Amino acid sequence: MTNATAAITLALSKGRIFDDSLPLLAAAGIEVLDDPEKSRKLILRTSRPDVRVVLVRASDVPTYVEHGGADLGVAGLDVLLEHGAEWAGGQGAAALSGLYMPVDLKIARCRMSVATRADFDYAAAVKQGSRIRVASKYTHIARQHFADKGVHVDLIKLYGSMELAPLTGLADAIVDLVSTGSTLKANHLVEVERIMDISARLVVNQAALKLKREPMRRLIDAFARAAG
């Protein structure tokens, strides 16, 4: 393999994003040779000696790319916004220091929504200007959403089991990712407001793009073609 400085390093997270990225990599002529489910390796070989994959926590992908630990990566829009991205409407790019998003890969699709107990009148609470307690892992997104609506909220940061918050009285509502809605239904919660659609983006380190321009550009273009 080429040395680390010459190789292009792609940051991925285990799970849905990794699995959904494999067909895109295949379309770009890249096959991951190590199975992350069977190996403890965090740096995976590929069929191209100049490309390697590093496995990191989903929330760490933009950090690795922004600070040069990886040249590019795949991360959900939710992760990027929480990382401090300033979403630029329909222009398909978000500005971060040393990092940008040239491609919506259209994988790992879901939505960010507000959900409450079925017996909580969310619309009335908003209309009356009530102060709503909202639990979320995505406090940056939640804060911006409710500020834009002029709704007063007290935000409670949680890292998991979000559905418990309304059921135990910790919060009136939650802001969380929703895919099929089956988890909400199983916990007697209802989706009351859709905040935004979420999908995974290709994120690129700008310094790496300058230093490895031709191979990086070819890889970005291959991802763009594969994503359609």
pLDDT in tens, 62-84: 999 999 999 999 999 999 988 87
Predicted TM-score of the model (pTM): 0.86
- Same-domain status, 95 and 149: no
Number of domains comprising the chain: 2
Residue 21 confidence (pLDDT) = 96
Beta bridge partners of 75: 201
Selection from 59, 56, 55, 21 nearest residue 36 by Cα: 55
Task: Mark whether 40 and 128 lie in a shared domain.
Answer: no
Residue from 6, 69, 10 nearest 44 by CA: 10
Q: Please indicate, yes or no, whether residues 20 and 75 belong to a single structural domain of this protein.
A: yes
Q: Which residues pair with 155 in a beta bridge?
A: 134
Q: Two tokens at 71? A: 């040249």
Model pLDDT, residue 153: 97
Answer whether residue 1 is part of any domain: no
Residue 3 in domain: no
158 with 192, same domain: the answer is: yes
Q: Name beta bridge partners: 104.
A: 201
The answer to whether residue 2 is domain-embedded is no
124 is a domain residue:
yes
- The per-residue pLDDT for range 161-173, each reduced to its tens digit, is 999 999 999 999 9
Check which CATH number belongs to the domain holding 145 and give it: 3.40.190.10
* 58 shares its domain with 123: no
Measured distance CA(63)–CA(83) in Å, rounded: 8
Q: Are residues 100 and 15 in the same domain?
A: yes
Q: What's 42's DSSP letter?
A: S
Task: Choose among 7, 17, 12: nearest CA to 65.
Answer: 12
Q: Tell me the residue range of the domain where 13 lies.
A: 8-108+199-227
pLDDT value for 95 = 47
Same-domain pairing of 179 and 203? no
User: Are the beta carbons of 182 and 110 closer than 8 angstroms?
Assistant: no
The count of other CB atoms within 10 Å of the CB of residue 214 is 7
- Are residue 180 and residue 96 in the same domain, yes or no? no
